[in-house]
Structure 1
């Protein structure tokens, strides 16, 4: 990638005046097509949706963002930056687009009782593969999924420190008792949610050493549900 980056920068400088903005935007649209949608491209690259939309409206990505976009879609960086050469120089995207596996991004934001945050600075660490059949059997859409890691012992016995959870981002409203990833007071948590008769919501830890947090009905707008936890995995040793 280092040689390709240097070559892209050299060609980009020599062709800067000749390259039209429209041609570059067409290549960005091609990345959206490869990913399946602008939302899917944002999830795959770890770039915020607002950032992707800004680029699609003519904003200029930094070199770091261009490298990220090229790597996550499998296109040639030289082609993306300059329009020169072949669009694809490696075969990885063909594997990612196969009919057997779907690839769910694992973000570096951690579910914690501290300073974790789900924000534009989150980046994709790796993509975890799941069979499309297993996701379809559970009624899950790959583009709606994301993975995070659990931090701390508040859910021990159910979710351990360092476990990975998959969340369905489309299920971002309380639809019944279950484990959700939520943002509350600028902190990110994986907790069990339970609605009380008075309309308030209990944010419950599995570890009984932690007392439930009660979110009154008039403060429910402050409880931001990121998504429902639909899968969890971790080491047994």
Structure 2
């Protein structure tokens, strides 16, 4: 079993104390089956659930993750300044038309650590989230993963995983520059899916919506 999951499980057990799993899950605002998995070290929580547990019990996320070597009594309380809210758009990464930041509605909010935004050099007003759909980017991305996207105009040679519009399809693919054709290889990380080259003469078919900078796994 992963040591990080064991550490998180132990911290939860300390927080739960003599409460039932059901009562503890209700206190935290987390579904009971998810809490059961967390307590037994079977799954890692989403960021939203981690923050819910943190807030409900007035402890820091560092302490919950076992990275803070302090007692429960001395655990720092998380405040709103520790994270930033970004919009989640309704578009999914394997379907839809156009640029999701212009055509799709906001369906929710995603909480990102403010330190992560600064570390990645992201601007709140130019950052959003969408969900991955399908299996073309497995194992890098799984169906249902939440993708944090930097929507600023991408400068220079592109190299990485991007949310793109190719013709009328919204996709998430790995882009790699091809010097010979001055175009881009459009790559699926799943070997069962085909890759192809988009040469310079066809680049008008491609619009880059933004670069994937962070992935929240669907657990």
* TM-score normalised by the chain length of structure 2: 0.59
SS in 2 for 1:172: coil
Tell me how many residue pairs correspond in the alignment. 138
Q: Alpha-carbon deviation of 1:222?
A: 1.7
Structure 1 ranges of 4+ moved more than 6 A: none
Equivalent in the alignment of 1:186: 168
Q: Alpha-carbon deviation of 1:219?
A: 1.3
Indicate which of 86, 110, 113 corresponds to 1:104.
Answer: 86
The structure-2 alpha-carbon separation of the partners of 1:116 and 1:157, relative to structure 1 and needing over 3 Å to count, comes to farther
> What whole-Å deviation, never above 9, does each CA across 1:128-169 have from its counterpart, x for those lacking one?
111212211221111110101111110110101111101101
SS in 2 for 1:183: strand
1:114-193 map, 5 Å? 114-115=95-96, 117-119=98-100, 120-173=102-155, 175-193=157-175
The separation in 2 between residues aligned to 1:152 and 1:230, in whole angstroms, is: 19
* TM-score normalised by the chain length of structure 1: 0.54
SS in 1 for 2:173: strand
The separation in 2 between residues aligned to 1:212 and 1:150, in whole angstroms, is: 18
**1:208 and 2:208 are equivalent in the alignment:** no
The structure-2 alpha-carbon separation of the partners of 1:115 and 1:137, relative to structure 1 and needing over 3 Å to count, comes to closer
The structure-2 alpha-carbon separation of the partners of 1:184 and 1:149, relative to structure 1 and needing over 3 Å to count, comes to same
Equivalent in the alignment of 2:70: none
The separation in 2 between residues aligned to 1:118 and 1:109, in whole angstroms, is: 9
The separation in 2 between residues aligned to 1:115 and 1:128, in whole angstroms, is: 21
Matched-pair contact (CA < 8 Å) for 1:181–1:188: yes
Matched-pair contact (CA < 8 Å) for 2:82–2:113: yes
Matched-pair contact (CA < 8 Å) for 1:110–1:117: no
Matched-pair contact (CA < 8 Å) for 1:104–1:130: yes
Matched-pair contact (CA < 8 Å) for 1:110–1:116: no
Gaps of 5+ in 2: 1-79
SS in 1 for 2:143: coil
The structure-2 alpha-carbon separation of the partners of 1:115 and 1:133, relative to structure 1 and needing over 3 Å to count, comes to closer
Q: Alpha-carbon deviation of 1:172?
A: 3.0
Matched-pair contact (CA < 8 Å) for 1:105–1:147: yes
Matched-pair contact (CA < 8 Å) for 1:173–1:225: no
RMSD over equivalenced CA pairs, Å: 1.7
> What whole-Å deviation, never above 9, does each CA across 1:36-77 have from its counterpart, x for those lacking one?
xxxxxxxxxxxxxxxxxxxxxxxxxxxxxxxxxxxxxxxxxx
Q: Alpha-carbon deviation of 1:235?
A: 2.5
SS in 2 for 1:151: coil
The structure-2 alpha-carbon separation of the partners of 1:144 and 1:121, relative to structure 1 and needing over 3 Å to count, comes to closer
Equivalent in the alignment of 1:220: 203
